[in-house]
Structures are given as C-alpha cells and as structure tokens.
Chain A
C-alpha cells in the first residue's frame, strides 16, 4: 500500500495540491477573522483536569475530549497488569531478580550487608584501576581524565552517590546491550519483526522520558530497581537500530565468503556477521552507556539512588551551588565513560605472537599488583581507604556568591532581555498559534505532507495530529509546538552560521566537533542549572535551556556537511572563478543542505525532549501535564500525553527526512 500511495503523484501534482490546501487555510483564517467560522472547525473539546492550574483562557473550554484515550489506556493497562497477571511477572522481575542483581554490584562497589558482605573497596583501588585502564586504552591523557574524575568523587564527598550510580549503570548497561543485540538480530533475520518493531522504536525514541516512567512505575513499582528498569528500557532502542544497521552493512560478498567457508547459520552470525558489524555495535554500546547516564537524574524521579537523586533533592530545595557540584560529577562520569568506551571500541587489538607472558599481560598484571597494594596500604593509611567527611571540600558557596553577583550586577539587563523576549516574541507567537483554528493547522500540515511525500505522508502526518486533537490536548500541544518552533528557529539562525564559520578551517572545525561531542554527553537535566541561575523559573528560562541543548546537532551537522563536500567540487568551483560569497551560496550551502536539514531535524527532536524536561522550570505545555500525571501515577493520561509529544515529533521528523531523502537523490548523493 505504501508503494501504491507513493507512486501515483508527480512533484507538480503534489505542489498543486499543497497550494490548494494553503488557499483553504487562508480562507479558514479569513473566516475566523470575520467571525464566520463555525465553532466545530475552530475549537476542539479539551481534556479537563480537576486539579488544574491552567491559565484563564484554557479553563473556558471545560468540556470533555472527543475520545477518552486516557481512560481507555488506563483500563487497558490495568487489565494487562491485574487481570492478565502481567503485574506478577513484572514485579517478580523487579523485586526478586533485578534487586538482587543490583545488590551484588552495590555490594562490590559500596560494601555493606546486602550481598557477599565484603567491605567497600578503598577509593584508591578504583583510582588505580581507571588510571591503568585509561592509559592502556588510549594514553596518559585519558588516564588523567578518568583518574581526575575518581579523585573528584572522593574529595567532594560524593563517593557514595557516585558508586550507587555506577552500580546502577553496571546493572543496566549489559542488560540493555543484550536486549538490543537480540532484537537487532531478530529484526535482521525476519523482515516481519523489523516492520513491526520499527514504528515502536520510533515512538519509543521520541516519547518523553517522563512519560516512560509512568507505565514502569505501574508495572514495576517504585524504587531503585525500577529506576534501573526504566533506564534499561530507555537505552535499548539505539542498540537495536545500530545492530540492525551494522548487520545490514556487512557486504554480501563477506556473507558469500562465510557460506563458501562452510559456515552453519549460527557460525555465520557469530563468527562472520556480528564481528564484521563490530564498528556499529561498539557505537551502539557507547550510545547505550550515554543513554543510561542521561536517565540518571530522570530515574531519580521514581526512586533511583545515586548522584541523580542527590541532584534532584538539591535542585528542588534550590541549592544551586551543591547542584553544580553534583552536576559536574555526573558530567565527569559521562565524559569518562564515553571516552573509555570509545577508546575501547577503537582499540586495535594486537595479536603479535610470541610475546612472553608478562609482556603480553603487562596491564592486567600491573593492575592486580597495584590493587593489592592499595588494599594493603589503606590498612595503614585510612585516608587512602576513605576520605573522612570533615575533610570534604566543597565549592558550592562560591557558586552562591557568583549567582548573587550575577543577579545584583546583571539582574536588570537580564530582566529586560527576559521581558522583551516573553512579551514581544513568545507571547505573540503563542497567541498566533492558539488563534489558528485547529482545522487550518491540520490542513497546513496535511498539505506539507502532500508536498513533501505524497498521499502516504499526508495521511500519516494527519493521523498523528488527529490523534492529538481527539485526545483533547490540542491547546497544550500547540504550546509545546510553539516553544519548539521558537527554540528551533533560534538554533538555526545561530547554529548554522556558527557551523559554517567553524567549518571554514580545519582546526576550528575539529575544536567545534570536540565541544559538540563533549556537550552531547551531558545529561539533559544539567542544562537546566545555569539557566535557572541566570533567569530564574519561567517560560524564558525553559526556552533558553531548550536552545542551549538543542543547538548542538545544528552546529555539528553543518560542520560535517560542509566538510564532506568532495574536494573536486571545491576545485571545480575555484576554477570557475567563484569568490568567497559565491562559493558559499553556490556550493557550500546547497550541496550539504540535505545533511544540514537532518541536523535541523535532530535539533527539533532534541528540542522536543528538552521542552518536556524544561517543564520542570515552569511551562504550561504537555510537559507540565506529564509531570502531573507522573506524580498522580495516572498511567493512561501520562501515556496519552507522551504519545502526543511523540506524534508531534514524528510528524516533523517524517516531513524533514522525506524531504532530505528526495533532495539527496536528486543531487545524486545516494
């Protein structure tokens, strides 16, 4: 059916259809302006909330949504859990299996009575382990970075929390990888599994983190282990995708070679295909680790221990200085794990034969010796075992003073900026979007779908929006959309020029990519901090957080796109006598445009995920409602809201990737 719907329309017909629909949109708007528009084309019945803190005009429309999606989902989930007995299984998994697993790791890293009853290892032990690991994998820089991180945890009194987080990761990462690998292989083996799983993955990856948490809580209960489960579920999708991609990229000749070498099916998978897909799989593992870390703070909402919980406590009590301290620890942990896992993935294994035993295993031997040494020494010098509480260093106060200084000295100008943006930019944009009759928005998006992808795209995107309309969250969805639109707009006009400027010379480009890499490893919650410090809690702060977080892919993809222009094209343009401006507009912008647009797409996806988290600093969009649903464990409502966000994101994603694919093909870039 997909093919049938796509084949039929020429580009010209699609454009005509689009124009007709745009004309209709104009008619609708005019009607509304002259008060001729019938009510049912203008406003939608909305979901009403009893404990609502809505602003005035949202309350006016206080009748029920067209389709009670939330209530339907509620009963479906509870039917699954209680009547079908899924709850028994999930609770068994959660309390009996996972809890014990986590206890083991907790015990190894933290000591205590839960597992084997070992004492906790001295902090210096971990220090020498990461030092040697860093050095063996990459060199002394990585060793210093990882060692520095461990020292940071110990010195700033965060040891216990850091170890709790680490044990959470150690439990979650392997399970996530395993699930990803198995599903990836299944997708590869069976096309039907792929077609079934891919839409689920699409939704899963665009669903806001908080919307996930609600079903997890309903099925698995609250607590540390539930946090681990949420982390596992959230981190698996990229692994599935990358495993599948890796397997699909193995050249058919290699498969033939494997078969002609007499491989059975199992041998082919495990000795030919998976090893050949090594790069993608390693990248997947790296992604899993990063996603798990991103969940550290978020999982704290449902009771995960560790740095995240600590961070959250401090954030809620607005102790920003301590927050920075903990936030920095999380970032350090993220960077170190990212660099270590990447170094491991890129490590060239050396099979040089005939090395004597002690040289071949010099690093493991060194590690064993030093670990033993730290154990012995810490018996004599307690400071090597644990840094006593009264020696804890903190620089939280410093941040207090800095914040105060900023507020005192820049306060008025920041306020002015905030006022200007909110009153003159944000509010008019929001009101404009809310003024548009819902029917005109549907037509506009459907028209775009028709223009960019034909009937199939038009129907798909319309379907997404109709769901939101029927579920009764239209106004809040529009507010989310306006924040994302605005943030994306700023990201584009700042990020793309920044990317172009960076790409102009090699050193700058490399530096910019390095910073993009580094910023991307920061868990999203971290971005909230500086924003609160500077702008307090309001819409503007939320949008600033979104912009800072979402600008990264715009910059990165622009740099990549510009740098991937084939050198012979540059030579051709030079020989044609272009000056700098002509080169920019004739070559450097149009050719990599599809790639840059994919970056913009990523920016939009990032913006959607951040805008929900930013609800934490006060917005009245879907995100706020998701928070409320989470605190009430209202599963149906939470999932509905999550789907609304996901569908908004998928609409944009579908349109842009469609366009980029067609454009690439017409440029002959495959």
Chain B
C-alpha cells in the first residue's frame, strides 16, 4: 500500500486558506512569502499555509495536529466545503476548484463521503432516513434506497436500530450512523474529520477497530483527521503533522518516530513507545550464515511490541520473513531489549 501510485487520487499543491481574504487577494513578496502586514491590516488569519500533498489510491493518510492547527480547514478545502484562497486541488486528475456547482454536487453524490466530529446527524430523521439521505438527494427510488441503507446498517452493526432517532442512540452508535451515511453512496474517497474525538476512550478503541475492519474490506482512499497521535499511529499508512497551518512532516509512522524533522514533531514522538511503531523489518539484522535460528518466524511488518514476548522467550535469534515467506533477516534479542528499554540501555552502555 505504501508503494507510490501511478496517479494520486487526491493531489493538492501550494494550498492556502486565509480567512478574511477572498480568492485572488493573497499577495506574495519576492521570496514567495505572504505579505504579513497586509494580512494584519485586513484582520485576516492564515489557516492553511502552503500545503502540498498527494494521497494514493487505497492509501490512508492521517493528518495530525492540535486544535487550531488548520487540519479541519485543510480537509474542508480538499472537499471544497471551504473555498481555498490560493493553490490547486485535483481529484483523480480533474481540477476540483474549477468545477461548476453542478459538477461538484455530482462528485459529492458519487465519489465522496465524509464523517464529522459531532456526527452531524439530521435530528428529525431516523437512522434509516439519515443513512438514506445522500441516496435520496441523488433521486434514488424508495425501494432501492431502503435496500441500500439497510445494507449499510448491517455493515456498521446497527441492525434493529433503523427506526430510532439519533437522540436515542449512544455516541458510538451515532457515529456508526455517520459512518454508514458517508459510505452509503459507495464513495471512492472518504474524509473523516476527527470521527472518534467526541467518544469515550473505550468506545474510541472499539470504533478504531471497527474502522480498520471496514477499511480492510473496502480499501477506500482516506484522509483522516485527528488530534490524537496514538490514533494516528494505529491507523495511518502515512501521517502528516500540521502546526500553525503548515505541514511539519509527512511520512510513515516509523519515519516520523525515528527521524522527526522538526522540534515540534520531536515533542510528539518523544513519548511514543517505540515498540508500538517499529516493525521487525526496521530493526532486523542480516543473517550471519552460521547462526542457528528459532523454529517459528515473525513477519517483516509485525510491530516489535506485538512479537517481543515471543522473541525474548527464545534463547536464539528469530527469523524474519516477508509477505511471501522468504527469509529476509534475523531479529536479535538485544535489539528488542534496546527498543523496549531505551533509557536502561544507554545507562549500561556508559
């Protein structure tokens, strides 16, 4: 999934959103920087600053940032709920920002789905009617949209709740409705704006599992917004970290934890338990020919945390295999210990 796709599904380049300015009003100086004094005069605020990114087909990009970092604005620019001030957004090669109102509606009715932080369910509609809403907007016949919506209800595990109103459901159930609604049109592109942030920690974990299950079945192209770094690590193929409207770093979870690009990113990654991020592949050594290996092997993309107990229980190194069960390296117990106890390790060294 990490392999570079031929054509990205979503591509945005030098995207700016400045609240308080209309498109075309943005002024750059000779270095390509924004004229700040002009913004001050206009009482304008930069929400998204020079963001460029690609999302490949079937890729799950998590945009991580604290509140006010511009991540919600970014996702709304990508879905054109907000008109960007400058820059381009392409969806499967066609220019999103040049689309007419009609084409945009067409696109949303067929290609895009979005899940919202506070669920954004229509209070006057039942679960079924909420999920069927985008289908109704498309003008689908009643029998057909009821059938489709019932399928979605089964998919998110809400059977029997179809005639309840949103206010009668728990937060987790409400978000399941939100998810079902966003999937009802069978979109290729799935935007999720902090979908689990309003939920209790236990429910959040459950919903993340549910989300991973759905994604393994559906293989959508996803932009997922969160302020929770653990959530980002759990779900992401790639993570983009935003700060003050800029993308500080974009890369795989391992990449970000091992090579933080800026101080800001380092602050986040400092406390991250490395065994949760690093895979066997990233810490294995090449096999020395004479080495004797344990009988059971581990996979190259297993997280160290998940296999540590087994590896440390073996007296001898453990073989690492790739997707096709080919031996690609060995994992030494000392390496695993170094990852699990980084502080102790440095003390014994010195």
Q: Quote the shortest CB–CB distance from A359 to chain B (angstroms).
A: 16
* Contact A260–B113 (Cβ < 8 Å): yes
A278 contacts the other chain (Cβ, under 8 Å)? yes
Q: Tell whether A262 pairs with B109 under 8 Å between CB atoms, given A256-B81, A257-B114, A267-B137.
A: yes
A261 contacts the other chain (Cβ, under 8 Å)? yes
Q: Which of A272-328 contact B (CB under 8 A)?
A: 272, 275-276, 278
**CB neighbours of A262 from chain B (8 A):** 105-106, 108-110, 134, 137-138, 185
A424 contacts the other chain (Cβ, under 8 Å)? no
Q: Which of B72-109 contact A (CB under 8 A)?
A: 76, 79, 81, 105-106, 108-109
* Contact A261–B133 (Cβ < 8 Å): yes
A253 contacts the other chain (Cβ, under 8 Å)? yes
A259 contacts the other chain (Cβ, under 8 Å)? yes
**CB neighbours of B117 from chain A (8 A):** 253
When the two chains form the complex, which single residue of A251, A253, A263, A351 contacts B137, counting CB atoms closer than 8 Å?
A263
* Contact A260–B182 (Cβ < 8 Å): yes
**CB neighbours of A353 from chain B (8 A):** 163
* Contact B163–A260 (Cβ < 8 Å): no
- In angstroms, Cα B182 to Cα A479, docked, is 64
0/1 string, A203-238, CB within 8 A of B gives 1: 000000000000000000000000000000000000
* Contact B122–A259 (Cβ < 8 Å): no
When the two chains form the complex, which single residue of A264, A267, A272, A352 contacts B122, counting CB atoms closer than 8 Å?
A272
When the two chains form the complex, which single residue of A253, A260, A271, A275 contacts B108, counting CB atoms closer than 8 Å?
A260
A41 contacts the other chain (Cβ, under 8 Å)? no
- In angstroms, Cα B312 to Cα A482, docked, is 91
Q: Quote the shortest CB–CB distance from B224 to chain A (angstroms).
A: 15
Q: Quote the shortest CB–CB distance from A393 to chain B (angstroms).
A: 46
* Contact A254–B138 (Cβ < 8 Å): no
**CB neighbours of B120 from chain A (8 A):** 251, 253-254, 256-257
Q: Quote the shortest CB–CB distance from A278 to chain B (angstroms).
A: 6
Q: Quote the shortest CB–CB distance from A251 to chain B (angstroms).
A: 7
**CB neighbours of A259 from chain B (8 A):** 81, 108
- In angstroms, Cα B138 to Cα A276, docked, is 20
- In angstroms, Cα B105 to Cα A117, docked, is 52
- In angstroms, Cα B119 to Cα A278, docked, is 19
Name the residue of chain A whose CB is nearest to the CB of B133: A261
Q: Tell whether A278 pairs with B124 under 8 Å between CB atoms, given A262-B134, A262-B137.
A: yes
Q: Quote the shortest CB–CB distance from B191 to chain A (angstroms).
A: 8
* Contact B138–A256 (Cβ < 8 Å): no
0/1 string, A96-118, CB within 8 A of B gives 1: 00000000000000000000000
B148 contacts the other chain (Cβ, under 8 Å)? no
Interface size range on A against B: 20 to 34
**CB neighbours of B116 from chain A (8 A):** 253, 256-257
**CB neighbours of B79 from chain A (8 A):** 260
When the two chains form the complex, which single residue of A254, A261, A264, A275 contacts B134, counting CB atoms closer than 8 Å?
A261
Name the residue of chain B whose CB is nearest to the CB of A275: B124
* Contact A264–B105 (Cβ < 8 Å): yes
* Contact B124–A260 (Cβ < 8 Å): no
**CB neighbours of B109 from chain A (8 A):** 261-262
**CB neighbours of B134 from chain A (8 A):** 260-262
**CB neighbours of A276 from chain B (8 A):** 122-124
Q: Tell whether A256 pairs with B114 under 8 Å between CB atoms, given A262-B108, A262-B137, A267-B137.
A: yes
Name the residue of chain B whose CB is nearest to the CB of A348: B165
B175 contacts the other chain (Cβ, under 8 Å)? no
B17 contacts the other chain (Cβ, under 8 Å)? no
**CB neighbours of B81 from chain A (8 A):** 256, 259-260
- In angstroms, Cα B126 to Cα A575, docked, is 45
B112 contacts the other chain (Cβ, under 8 Å)? yes
* Contact A260–B114 (Cβ < 8 Å): yes
Q: Quote the shortest CB–CB distance from A4 to chain B (angstroms).
A: 13
B118 contacts the other chain (Cβ, under 8 Å)? yes
Q: Tell whether A275 pairs with B137 under 8 Å between CB atoms, given A256-B116, A257-B116.
A: no
Q: Quote the shortest CB–CB distance from B298 to chain A (angstroms).
A: 42
B176 contacts the other chain (Cβ, under 8 Å)? no
B220 contacts the other chain (Cβ, under 8 Å)? no
**CB neighbours of A272 from chain B (8 A):** 122
**CB neighbours of B113 from chain A (8 A):** 260
- In angstroms, Cα B182 to Cα A260, docked, is 8
* Contact A352–B124 (Cβ < 8 Å): no
**CB neighbours of B11 from chain A (8 A):** none
B181 contacts the other chain (Cβ, under 8 Å)? yes
Q: Which of A480-510 contact B (CB under 8 A)?
A: none
- In angstroms, Cα B79 to Cα A258, docked, is 13
- In angstroms, Cα B134 to Cα A271, docked, is 11
Q: Quote the shortest CB–CB distance from A548 to chain B (angstroms).
A: 40
Name the residue of chain A whose CB is nearest to the CB of B178: A257
Q: Quote the shortest CB–CB distance from A255 to chain B (angstroms).
A: 8
* Contact A275–B114 (Cβ < 8 Å): no
0/1 string, B123-136, CB within 8 A of A gives 1: 11110010001101
- In angstroms, Cα B114 to Cα A88, docked, is 55
* Contact B123–A351 (Cβ < 8 Å): no
* Contact B181–A261 (Cβ < 8 Å): yes
- In angstroms, Cα B187 to Cα A261, docked, is 11
* Contact A352–B138 (Cβ < 8 Å): no
**CB neighbours of B114 from chain A (8 A):** 256-257, 260
* Contact B108–A261 (Cβ < 8 Å): yes
Name the residue of chain A whose CB is nearest to the CB of B164: A351
Q: Tell whether A261 pairs with B137 under 8 Å between CB atoms, given A251-B118, A256-B114, A276-B123.
A: yes
When the two chains form the complex, which single residue of B106, B122, B137, B163 contacts A254, counting CB atoms closer than 8 Å?
B122
0/1 string, B256-290, CB within 8 A of A gives 1: 00000000000000000000000000000000000
Name the residue of chain B whose CB is nearest to the CB of A260: B114
Name the residue of chain B whose CB is nearest to the CB of A256: B81
**CB neighbours of A271 from chain B (8 A):** 133, 136-137
Name the residue of chain B whose CB is nearest to the CB of A279: B123
Name the residue of chain A whose CB is nearest to the CB of B116: A253
**CB neighbours of B119 from chain A (8 A):** 253
0/1 string, B170-209, CB within 8 A of A gives 1: 0000000010011001000001000000000000000000
Q: Quote the shortest CB–CB distance from A7 to chain B (angstroms).
A: 12
- In angstroms, Cα B114 to Cα A263, docked, is 14
* Contact A351–B126 (Cβ < 8 Å): yes
- In angstroms, Cα B120 to Cα A276, docked, is 11
**CB neighbours of A256 from chain B (8 A):** 76, 81, 114, 116, 120
**CB neighbours of A257 from chain B (8 A):** 114, 116, 120-122, 178, 181
- In angstroms, Cα B173 to Cα A373, docked, is 49
Name the residue of chain B whose CB is nearest to the CB of A278: B124
Q: Quote the shortest CB–CB distance from A635 to chain B (angstroms).
A: 45
Q: Quote the shortest CB–CB distance from A143 to chain B (angstroms).
A: 26
**CB neighbours of B125 from chain A (8 A):** 275
**CB neighbours of B76 from chain A (8 A):** 256
Q: Which of A34-73 contact B (CB under 8 A)?
A: none
0/1 string, B11-29, CB within 8 A of A gives 1: 0000000000000000000
The 9 closest A-B pairs by CB, nearest first: A262-B109, A261-B134, A257-B120, A253-B120, A260-B114, A262-B108, A275-B124, A253-B116, A262-B137
What are 17 A-B pairs with beta-carbon distances under 8 A?
A: A251-B118, A251-B120, A253-B118, A253-B119, A256-B76, A256-B81, A256-B114, A257-B122, A262-B105, A263-B105, A263-B137, A264-B105, A271-B133, A271-B137, A275-B122, A276-B123, A278-B124
Given contacts A256-B114, A256-B116, 19 further A-B contacts (CB under 8 A): A253-B116, A253-B118, A254-B120, A256-B76, A257-B178, A258-B122, A260-B81, A260-B134, A261-B109, A261-B133, A261-B134, A262-B109, A262-B110, A262-B137, A263-B105, A271-B136, A271-B137, A275-B122, A276-B122
